[in-house]
Every structure is written in C-alpha cells, then in structure tokens.
Structure 1
Amino acid sequence: MAREIFNVDTVHSEIGFSVKHMMISKAKGHFNDFDAVIEVDPENLEDSKVEVTIDVSSIDTKNTGRDEHLRSDDFFAVEKHPKATFVATGVKKKSDNNYDVTGDLTITGTTKSVTFDVVFEGQSKDPMSGNTVAGFSGKTAINRKDFGLTWNAALETGGVLVGDDVNITFEIEAHKAE
C-alpha cells in the first residue's frame, strides 16, 4: 500500500515538555502553534515520513514572565530561531503498536539526533465527517545544554533553578487528507 497523508488536528493534539524546577518540582509547558507533515503506510508504519515544525514563540507555561524569559536570548532566542523542527530519519517497530522514531531535532539552530518512543494509538472513522483519523503519542528526553539552552541560576540552598534534562511528550490526532 502507498503512503497516505494525514494532517494534524491541533485542537486535539499537544506538544509538551517538563523540566526540573528548583531541584524539587517540575515546570511544565506546551507549544500552542505547530504543524506536521505525516505520511504513513497504514500497513507498514516503518515506511513513514514525519516532519514537525514548532513556532517556538507560542511557548506556554501558564506564566507570562517565564514565557517571555524563555523566548529571550537566554533560552530560545525566538527572533533568531523562530522555529524548532523534527525530521524523522527512521522508524523501527519494537512491538505491536510501539515504535522508535529517530530523527533530527533542531532547536536554536542546533541539530541533534533524537529517538522518540512512539505508540500508534490506532485509527478510526470520524462520525461527523467519515474521515479516517489516527492517533500517535510519544516521548523522549533531551539535555537542553546539547541545544545551547544553558542559562541557569544558582539556588542559595544548593543546586540550580532549571534542570538539564527536558522530557518532551506529544499527543497527536491526525486526519487523513481528502
């Protein structure tokens, strides 16, 4: 079977992250604006094309001051690097609905190979449109310093304000292009 094109339904999708905050809790957020090119062969998901583009300025941590700081040159430098991207370079089946999706992740102009643990949640028909809908979820962890995100502040009790490891998660609902 040939690849089919699916479009992300951003109303029912999310790209999120969490990072250790003050060594004792986690700060969480997501990006409000993103898009993806998803081309899959439903009979062979290993033959897939995935390209994700994130508008980094759409970062939302439920804290306006923190969001502005994250957009600044201390972190994402959104004026110089408005987009983050992921381009899959390989998909490998691990079990029935579980895949390793490896690709090039680019943040602040730095590109590194990253592997996401992805679950194909299945597909069904939308009762309103009759269109085929597919679901995917996934996660990975990166070291933010690998992407030039090095700003930090020391805590008077020891440790630092922002952890190095960032957990990235996504939930994608995608509709087959008509």
Structure 2
Amino acid sequence: MTVSNWTIDPTHSSIEFSVKHMMIAKVKGSFNKFSANISADPLDLTTAEIDFDVDVASIDTRNADRDNHLRSADFFHVEHNPTLTFKSSKIVKTDEDEYDVTGNVTLNGITKEETFAITFEGQGKDPWGNEKAGFSGKGKIKRSDYGLTYNAALETGGVLIGDQITLTLDIEAAKEA
C-alpha cells in the first residue's frame, strides 16, 4: 500500500472516557463531535501523520446537569477552550498490528506529550466499493496536567473525582478518493 488520506466516519466511530467517582465507581461519557486529518498507509502506521480535533462542548455523560458543569469554567471552560487537539509526533510498532502513537495533546490551553496504544483492526471495502480501515486505541491522561483541578473532599476521605482519565477510541476511516 501507499500513503493516502483518510477521513473519520463519525457514524461508525467513538471517543469515550471514564473517570473514578467517589473513589468507588466509574463515570463514563463520550465526545460526540470530532474529526481528523490522517495521512497513512494502514499496513505501516509508523509513517502516519494524525491531526485529531474534538469538540469539547459535545461531551455527553447522559446527564445534562453534569454535562453543563463539565462545559463550565470549573472544568473545560468551552467558551475559551472549545477544542481538544492531538497531533502525532512519533509512531512505534510494538507488535503485529499494535502501535504506540505519541503526540501533543492540547486541552484547556495546555499542551503535553501523551502516548496512546493503537491497534490496526483491519481494512476492506464496503458494499459501495469504498476503502475503509478500522483502528482502536486506549490511553490515560491526568486531568490535573491540563489544569482541570476542580474537586471536592469526601467526608470518608479521598476526593469526589479521580485525576486519571481513561480514553478509548474506536475509529472507522474512509480512504479519500
């Protein structure tokens, strides 16, 4: 294969997250609006270039009050920082169809280098002849690294919201003509 441009199919893709709540459970949610510019040979992702944009206001935890609080200045302050971005800088093959993708994450006006474990799930043509490729990934970031420090102490000890966020990606991309 050769390097080509790929576009995310948002109807067959997702970005989900989870965070500890009250130190005993996990709250899960998703970002419903995102896009990416991907230049890649799916059979050799080490040469790929990935620019990912997430509309932070599209956060969805299935609770409108919580979602509005997350959009506020206590957390994402979406009026001033509407987008989470990722730009790849290094991709290392770690196993068959497995890669560590490192790049700069910018969130809440702060940029840090992060690494995500990505799996190439396969490639094929849909019923209309369009070339598709699938990827899944997982990574963890600390929200405090991005100035997201809102919290509340619990009377039993500990805090209301954990610092570590687990991100899970499932992406179906279409090869551009």
Query: Normalising TM by the smaller chain, what interval?
Result: over 0.9
Query: Which residue is 2:121 aligned to?
Result: 121
User: Quick one: distance in 1 between partners of 2:113 and 2:92?
Assistant: 15
Query: Which residue is 1:151 aligned to?
Result: 150
Query: Which residue is 2:132 aligned to?
Result: 133
The amino acid that maps onto 1:158 is G
User: Quick one: distance in 2 between partners of 1:87 and 1:51?
Assistant: 5
User: Quick one: distance in 2 between partners of 1:29 and 1:137?
Assistant: 17
User: Quick one: distance in 1 between partners of 2:42 and 2:140?
Assistant: 27
Query: Which residue is 2:110 aligned to?
Result: 110
User: Quick one: distance in 2 between partners of 1:42 and 1:32?
Assistant: 25
Query: Which residue is 1:95 aligned to?
Result: 95
- Which aligned pairs between 1:1-178 and structure 2 lie closer than 5 A? 2-127=2-127, 129-178=128-177
Q: Gapped runs of 5+ residues in structure 2?
A: none
- Segment of structure 1 superposing worse, 76-85 or 150-159: 150-159
- What is the deviation of 1:72? 0.4
- What is the deviation of 1:2? 3.6
- Indicate the RMSD between aligned Cα atoms, in angstroms: 0.9
For each residue in 1:48-86, what CA deviation from the matched residue of structure 2 results, as whole angstroms up to 9, or x when unmatched? 010100000000000100000000000000000000000
- What is the deviation of 1:44? 2.2
- What is the deviation of 1:159? 1.1
User: Quick one: distance in 1 between partners of 2:35 and 2:159?
Assistant: 33
User: Quick one: distance in 2 between partners of 1:63 and 1:145?
Assistant: 23
- What is the deviation of 1:42? 3.3
For each residue in 1:59-118, what CA deviation from the matched residue of structure 2 results, as whole angstroms up to 9, or x when unmatched? 000010000000000000000000000000011101110000000001001000000000
Aligned length: 177
CA contact (8 A) 2:42 2:120 kept: no
TM-score (norm 1): 0.97
User: Quick one: distance in 1 between partners of 2:16 and 2:148?
Assistant: 17
Which structure 1 residue ranges, 4+ long, deviate > 2 Å from structure 2?
A: none
CA contact (8 A) 2:142 2:165 kept: yes
Q: Gapped runs of 5+ residues in structure 1?
A: none
- What is the deviation of 1:43? 4.0
User: Quick one: distance in 2 between partners of 1:166 and 1:42?
Assistant: 28
Secondary structure of the residue aligned to 2:157 is coil
Q: What is the aligned-residue identity percentage?
A: 54
CA contact (8 A) 2:42 2:133 kept: no
User: Quick one: distance in 2 between partners of 1:136 and 1:31?
Assistant: 17
